[in-house]
Structures are given as structure tokens and as C-alpha cells.
Chain A
């Protein structure tokens, strides 16, 4: 298992798999198959993928601890950046196809409509994380500070779920499902943090997340 995980081929395959939803959207766009309301369809599809990638990204740390597969960390940055990638597509769909660059309308929306305010906040919070995702930035910031900064992803995940919840007209099943998953993943972190605090100082060093191993390549 660990051999499969560390193979560079696995990484290439996972990378391509992450691009499949994007490829399908492009394919559908060229075949005029984005439903009667392409702007909304793109917003909804990319929005779904942002939340899915958020859940995947947030699952990496719990999974590698629970399954004792430290190699999983090799994929965390990639999933995080794909979250941001689909975030950019989502944001672009809104600016371009939905609002057609009507900046005053958009600005009004951002501070008048709570669901847009919170979605926008979630997206903006991802920008510094994407920028500082390189090994160089981990070094420059230092592991501790880098890790503090990258906990902003928790806020993005919460913002994303609330954004979806506030958007739907009546059936809240889907946002609640995402909320449940994000809730479990954040609760696991809270749990391990509380357990770590109870242990005598120093004893918990090995159980702490290790951001400096995020990427070595």
C-alpha cells in the first residue's frame, strides 16, 4: 500500500482524476450541453466540487492517522489546490456568465446578500493558502506559523457549507450532508487536540500534525 502511495504514477493518476470533472464541463460546454441555464449549471457543478474537494482535503489528516498511512500526506496539497482551482472556476462563472462583469451589481451582492458574503469570504480565505502552499513558503513561515495560517481551511469549509445552506430554496438535504461530513472532520480535530492537551507536555509531540512533511519534492 505504501509503495502504491509513494509512486509518482499514483500521483499523476490522482491528478488526472481530479481534472475529470473540469474536463466533463468543458466537453459539455463544447457540445452545448450545459442545460438551458448554463451559468447556473456551472455555478452549481463547480460549487459541488469545491465542497467535495474540501471534504477530501480535510479527510487526509484523519485518514493517515487512523489508517497509519503517513504517505497520504503527499496528496494533501494537491487536493487543497484543486479545491482552490474549482473555487476559481466557481467564482469566474459567477463574475462572467452569471453577472457578466456588472461590477456594481456584484459589489452590492457581496455586502447585501449574506449567502454571497460568506461564499466570497470562504473563497478569499483560500487565496493566501494557495500562495503559501509551496515548500519554500513553509520554510519561510516556519512550520508552526504555516500550520496556523492553513487552519483557515476550516473556516472556508464552514463558510462553504453555510453558503450552500443559505442558497437553497427549500430542500436542505445536500448542504446538510456536506455539513455533516465537514462537522465530523472538524470534530475529529477538536477531539485529538483536546486529548493532546490532556497528555503531559512533550508526550504528544509525535501525535501532532506535521506540516513540514507536507511536501518534500
Chain B
């Protein structure tokens, strides 16, 4: 179970598809999508022409992780066609349908704010920053469904140590990519770009994963390509997708879902907690996807079952108030 120092495949090696498909093709894709919005909102796939977006490619040389659950992963096909990624629409099938022309090459992530060494990372640098591991995590959505996903990435702490946060840095703010031309079918309601945040100690927790792939491949567009967060003890919306900015800040940063509905429905912490209901539904049980129509809901676990690793960070806090 040796973990290799460096993956010998670089990100640039594995995702040139969008580039070789050519700039004209990409522009045609944009044109087709914008045209579709002006017309029927969505072109039938046979009219829209071939997809022009970046597609997943295999990620090899991935180590195993002791943090992985032994539960069976949800079939990839189910995970990749049932998404919440409002920049591509709010129906569960929308992200898979509407992200086909999403181009994620080239890509940079700006790490900035209260750090000694702010810098921009290319995807190639991100993939090489630390050994990639496969982490099979439970993932619990605030909407009472859950999945088990073999993510690929490494602890965010690797990147944090590299940029050296100053003593003033108390929180980490995440910003997702938002470009209406690439995301013409974004759902209304929440504000874009999508914002999320963690306390610095949460972000340093080894479970907090900077994720570049899943199921042995780079991330599909609808699952947050090319790089996203995965925070398994929190509701899914905390795990921001398609990251472009990671900012270290002094005070609690605003987050998209928390700002929405005046902060009454989705808290900043959003730790999975079966005893604290969403104002509109119970969080006591969840539907594990992939079980078919007759699968019984299962009880939801405190901190999504990751209490041993994370509960101490919230000692003495009223989790009912800090939901």
C-alpha cells in the first residue's frame, strides 16, 4: 500500500480534449447554448451538436486512505446523474445535461488573503501538490439523500500549510466559478458566484478533502470539475464545486445558502445532525441512493458518522444554535 510521492500523470497530460477539440468548436458550443436559452431554454441533444466541454479521463496512481468507509460505493452512473449544481439548473438531472459544454481547461485557483505566500495554482500544480488518495466517504445532502463516493484528492491541509496562513486567518472562504456564458441555465434564487466557508481548524482537519476526481477519473463537469471541496461530516452544500478562489479571512465569511432565506434554513456550520431538523423537514433519516424504489430510509448519524475525527472541534458549542 505504498503511497507514491508524485503521480506520474499530470493534469495537462490527461485533459487536453477541450483544447484539441479546438476553439471554434468551443465557441460554437457557447453559441448553441445561448441560442437554446433564447429559444426553448434547452435544445434537444440531437440539435445541439456534439458536446464541446471537458470530459473526465482516468487518474492513475492513487493511494488508498485509512479514512475510507468499507460501505459499497453508490454506482457512478447514479451519482453522476443526480446532482445539485445550481449553476447548471436546479433539477437533479440538469447538471449532467447542461454541463456538457463546460470547459475547465485552463484553470487556476487563486489562494489569497491572510497568508504569507499567496499564489495562483494551475490545475497541474494542484494535482502534483500532494500524493493523490482515494477516499471513500459517505456524502449526506441536506435534502435527506446520501451517497457513498470514492473521491480522489488529498487533505486540504497540504495546500494550507504551503501558503502559510498568518495568525489573523481564522476562516477559509471558498468561491466557485461562475460565468453566465458557460452556465446560461443557472437556477435563480441563491447568489452566484457560489460562496462557502469553513473555520480554519475545520479546513485543517485531515478529513477535509481537496478533490480532483472520483471513481478513478478526473471529476465530471456536473460533479464540480476540475477541483472541489469534500467535507464529509457536513451537508453536501458545504462542499463547494469548481473552485476558483480560496481566501483566508479574519471573520466568518458569507456563504450562499446561509445568506439565502435570511440564514434561517441553512447554517454556517451545517454539520450533519439527525437531532436538528431543517425548518421544513426532519433530518433523522436519509435515503441511500442506488437502493432502488423499495429501499428503506436509514437513520442519519451524528456528524455523518465522522464524530471520532471531528466532534472535538465543536466541544462546548450549542449545535442547535450553531446549526
Given A36-B82, A105-B285, A170 and B188 touching (CB < 8 A)?
yes
A-B pairs with beta carbons under 8 Å apart, 19 shown: A32-B292, A35-B93, A36-B81, A36-B147, A36-B290, A37-B82, A37-B145, A99-B297, A100-B297, A102-B285, A105-B284, A105-B285, A113-B281, A115-B280, A167-B280, A170-B86, A170-B90, A171-B189, A173-B188
Name the one of A32, A113, A172 contacting B280, with C-beta atoms under 8 angstroms. Answer: A113
Q: 1/0 per position for B126-141, CB-CB distance to A under 8 A?
A: 0000000000000000
Name the one of A42, A100, A105, A173 contacting B296, with C-beta atoms under 8 angstroms. Answer: A100
> What DSSP secondary structure best describes chain B's contact surface?
loop
Is B190 engaged at the interface, CB distance under 8 Å to the other chain? yes
Contact A39 B260 (CB under 8 A): no
Given A35-B82, A97-B293, A169-B90, A109 and B282 touching (CB < 8 A)?
yes
Alpha-carbon distance A188/B79, docked complex (angstroms): 46
**Chain A min CB distance to B41 (Å):** 11
Alpha-carbon distance A79/B296, docked complex (angstroms): 34
- B residues 213-262 with Cβ under 8 Å of A? 260
Q: What residues of B have a CB within 8 angstroms of the CB of A108 in the complex?
A: 282
Alpha-carbon distance A173/B90, docked complex (angstroms): 11
Contact B293 A34 (CB under 8 A): yes
Name the residue of chain B whose CB is nearest to the CB of A100. Answer: B296
Interface residue range, chain B: 20 to 34
Q: What residues of B have a CB within 8 angstroms of the CB of A190 in the complex?
A: none
Contact B81 A35 (CB under 8 A): yes
Is A62 engaged at the interface, CB distance under 8 Å to the other chain? no
Is B187 engaged at the interface, CB distance under 8 Å to the other chain? yes
- A residues 157-215 with Cβ under 8 Å of B? 166-173
Is A29 engaged at the interface, CB distance under 8 Å to the other chain? yes
Contact B293 A29 (CB under 8 A): yes
Is B100 engaged at the interface, CB distance under 8 Å to the other chain? no
Contact B189 A172 (CB under 8 A): yes
**Chain A min CB distance to B243 (Å):** 21
Alpha-carbon distance A98/B294, docked complex (angstroms): 9
Q: What residues of B have a CB within 8 angstroms of the CB of A171 in the complex?
A: 86, 90, 187-189
Alpha-carbon distance A29/B190, docked complex (angstroms): 33
Q: 1/0 per position for A9-41, CB-CB distance to B under 8 A?
A: 000000000000000000001001011111110
**Chain A min CB distance to B275 (Å):** 14
Alpha-carbon distance A155/B188, docked complex (angstroms): 28
Query: Which of A36, A39, A97 has its CB near the most chain B CB atoms (within 10 A)?
Result: A36
Q: What residues of A have a CB within 8 angstroms of the CB of B281 in the complex?
A: 109, 113
Q: What residues of A have a CB within 8 angstroms of the CB of B8 in the complex?
A: none
- A residues 59-118 with Cβ under 8 Å of B? 97-100, 102, 105, 108-109, 113-115
Alpha-carbon distance A36/B149, docked complex (angstroms): 14
Q: What residues of A have a CB within 8 angstroms of the CB of B145 in the complex?
A: 36-37, 40
Contact B294 A97 (CB under 8 A): yes
**Chain B min CB distance to A109 (Å):** 7
Name the one of B189, B287, B290 contacting A170, with C-beta atoms under 8 angstroms. Answer: B189
Alpha-carbon distance A109/B287, docked complex (angstroms): 17
Alpha-carbon distance A98/B145, docked complex (angstroms): 11
Q: What residues of A have a CB within 8 angstroms of the CB of B92 in the complex?
A: 35-37, 40
Q: What residues of B have a CB within 8 angstroms of the CB of A99 in the complex?
A: 297
Query: Which of B93, B190, B281 has its CB near the most chain A CB atoms (within 10 A)?
Result: B281
**Chain A min CB distance to B87 (Å):** 12
Given A29-B293, A97-B293, A167-B280, A36 and B187 touching (CB < 8 A)?
no
Name the residue of chain B whose CB is nearest to the CB of A99. Answer: B297
Given A105-B282, A113-B281, A169-B189, A39 and B82 touching (CB < 8 A)?
no
Alpha-carbon distance A169/B143, docked complex (angstroms): 9
Name the residue of chain B whose CB is nearest to the CB of A93. Answer: B293
Q: What residues of A have a CB within 8 angstroms of the CB of B290 in the complex?
A: 36
Is B201 engaged at the interface, CB distance under 8 Å to the other chain? no
Alpha-carbon distance A170/B237, docked complex (angstroms): 13
Given A170-B86, A170-B187, A171-B188, A36 and B280 touching (CB < 8 A)?
no
Contact B78 A36 (CB under 8 A): yes
**Chain B min CB distance to A55 (Å):** 20
Alpha-carbon distance A203/B289, docked complex (angstroms): 62
Alpha-carbon distance A171/B89, docked complex (angstroms): 9
Is B74 engaged at the interface, CB distance under 8 Å to the other chain? yes
10 A-B pairs besides A38-B292, A97-B293, A102-B297 with CB distance below 8 A are: A36-B290, A39-B287, A39-B293, A99-B297, A100-B297, A102-B285, A115-B280, A170-B190, A171-B188, A172-B189
Q: What residues of A have a CB within 8 angstroms of the CB of B293 in the complex?
A: 29, 34, 38-39, 42, 97
Alpha-carbon distance A115/B51, docked complex (angstroms): 39
